[in-house]
Chains A and B, each alone.
Chain A
Amino acid sequence: MQAENIGGKILSLMEENPGITVKMISEKLSITVNQVEKVLDSMSDTRQKILIVDDEMDALVSLKVALEAEGYNVVEAKDGHEVVDKVYSELPDVILLDLMIPGIDGFEVCRLLKSDEMYRHIPIIMLTARNEVDDKVEGIELGADDYVTKPFNLKELKARIKMILRRQDI
């Protein structure tokens, strides 16, 4: 939330005073120059943004590396609360959501986002080691756009992400 607010404030400052410097913004908002630059960087990043949610560090890191190599901007979250924060602040283009995460569980996160007018357009691909039909059905019913079981084929996952993002563009 904080990050989003800052982004909004920076944008409105920049609109009001064309030619305002980073330093001035940091002074006005009483945050460090570094933070301002980081926010501006992320706002100016045109790559498609993927939010990966997984509490298993190794799985998360390997997928992040693989997707970054594909040219995606990857944001990570390790639990349910972090997911919600990251969605609000980063506005990802797609979410890879592991269902077994601490805090708010995957289904609940999905329900939460899909019931929010602001964020329901963000496609969600559910990732889980559980291979039960009921889980898949529940996920789809909650509005998940796709459902991939672990361990997944990396090529296939990338294809699915691409497809969903293309669908989103249209």
Chain B
Amino acid sequence: MWNRKSKWNLLLFAAIVLLLISSIFFLWMKTNIEVRSVVEEQYQNQQLLLTRHIAGTIEQTLNERVSLLEVIAKTDSGVPEDNFKSDIKSVYDIAGLFYVVEYVAENGTIVSGYPEEYVPLGLNLHENDVSYAFEHVNDTGDVYITDPLKLMEGNYGSFIWVPVYEGDIFRGAFIAIIKESDLKDRYVVESNSSSYAYLIDERGRILYEGNQNYERGALYVDIFGSNVSGLQEIIAEQINGSEGNGKYFLLENETIYEEKLVSYSPINWYNQKWSLALTSPSSEVDRLIVSVYLKLFIVAAVSALFIVFVSSFVVIILFNWSKSLEKEVGEKTQELKESNESLRAANTKLKELDRLKTEFLSIVSHELKTPLTAMRTSSEFLRESDECSIPVRRQMLDIIIRNIDRQSRMVDDLLDVSRIESNRMKYHKEHVNVVEAVHTSLEMLSTVLKEKNMNVLVEIPDSLPSVYTDRDKLVQVFINLLNNAVKFSKKNGTVRVSAQEDDDFIEISVSDNGIGMSGEEFEKVFDKFYQIDSTSTRKVGGSGLGLSIVKGIIEGQGGTISVTSEQDKGSTFVFTLKKSMDEIDG
């Protein structure tokens, strides 16, 4: 489970992930801005090139038209007969842009022109008080181009005054009119683009404006009133005759709502200094790079997703890792607990073993010293009292002999126990007839049996196979068990010995109808020096090691031994020994 600490860790992790994602989006924005500025620059340059191109074309067209007039104005042969009528016609035809071309004689009267229907022949400029331009070209000798003026037909057009000289003599002037509308038709191309063009003169007045909603002679900046910022600087640059790029902002309620990119280029047409500008909203740039934006966004989003994915993956891995760590720690703790437990158990067992050893030694020493006490007392007494009676002497000597026997039996038993416990007991295995072994044992116990007048039943079938065991040890087992049975039987009791085949084993049981034992007692009956009550063995004169030795001998040969007993009804010891598998061996 997430505890407090790992919750904090998770939060920290989430913060790092957020930081990564936001840095990606920051970089995305940054890139957008950079890309945009690059694209904007490129766009503006492109726009500038276009502007320059258009302006150049217009300038060239206009200048060429004027040049045509200038060519015919430089006459060496004087004013021709037809007052340049044929020349004007050819110029008009070649130029294809003029509305009308007229010739004004040096006295100020229009004397010829083409097409004739537009020419006010015979009109004298001086008389009509429109001779300013005429006088001007006469004075300067240079071409003079007027601002667009209202024509008699209602249109506007620029008047081009070209002085005519014969040598150095002023011979009048050509007037050519280029209608504004013609020029527009020629250069204004309807397009769907959001580009927008305007043309201003050197005073900033509008000559042409894309939306066509201006008053003649108005200043361009006045169209927007106060809803514009940065335009005036651009206009100033234009009036200066410079070429370049600029930006202005359209405002609405003091806030920018549109940014305009402007490129401007001058048109120098003799005395007329115009400036052409192309504008487009900067959203156009965005439109161009919107796909770049989109792709960059996709990259950023994919990166963010990737980070989220990887980090969740890492979180899951860490989570599982911590879970498995926790589990492992739990298991290890459990193992430690268990090993502690088993160590404690082992310790307890060792302590118990130690206690048992001490107890065993104490019992052994007691058991060895007890007969010695009797022997010592008796023998010392005999040495001290020379004149004691024969029966007393005999009694004492009997005590000594009895205790010597008891001592040697005890030593033998202890040696057997020691051999059994250290697995040094040697078994000289041979094929032993069980019945023979039983009879040998009974013979050796005959005195004891007679004493208690025991009834012994041997119920062993003749067909019983022999057992493969150590003959002497088997006899010892029988002696111990029978002796035990007799000891715990009352007088005239019955001891039964029976045997039967059980697979590879022979199962032999020795039972009595004596005093028996309780469940608690017969669990311990095979323990060394176990005494059902501490006197019982002594009353019956055993070492307390017999059954322990029997168990050792049987189990040392791969057999088993068990006991069942009921209080006051008797006990039954059952043991198994391997039977002889191959009779030939015997």
Contact = CB atoms under 8 A, between A and B. Distances in A.
Interface of A: 55-56, 58-59, 61-63, 65-66, 69, 79, 100, 102, 129-132, 150-155
Interface string B361-372: 010011001111
Nearest to B369: A129
B396 A62 contact: yes
Contacts of B374: 56, 58-59, 61-62
Contacts of A79: 535
Contact of A58 (B365, B366, B402, B533): B402
Given A61-B399, A65-B396, A55 B535 contact: yes
Nearest to B403: A58
B377 interface: yes
Return the 5 tightest CB-CB contacts between A and B, nearest first.
Answer: A129-B369, A58-B374, A154-B380, A151-B373, A62-B377
Contacts of B362: 130, 132
A69 B385 contact: yes
A65 B376 contact: no
B184 to A, nearest CB: 136
Given A59-B370, A102-B535, A151 B395 contact: no
Given A56-B370, A129-B366, 7 more contacts: A59-B377, A61-B399, A62-B378, A100-B534, A102-B533, A150-B369, A153-B380
Contacts of A63: 377
B388 interface: yes
B427 interface: no
Interface of B: 362, 365-366, 369-378, 380-381, 384-385, 388, 392, 395-396, 399, 402-403, 533-535, 538
B395 A152 contact: no
A76 to B, nearest CB: 14
30 contacts: A55-B535, A56-B370, A56-B374, A56-B538, A58-B374, A58-B402, A59-B374, A61-B374, A61-B399, A63-B377, A65-B381, A65-B392, A65-B395, A66-B377, A66-B385, A69-B388, A79-B535, A100-B366, A102-B535, A129-B365, A129-B366, A129-B373, A131-B365, A132-B362, A151-B375, A151-B376, A151-B377, A154-B376, A154-B384, A155-B380
Given A79-B535, A150-B372, A61 B395 contact: yes
Contacts of A155: 380, 384
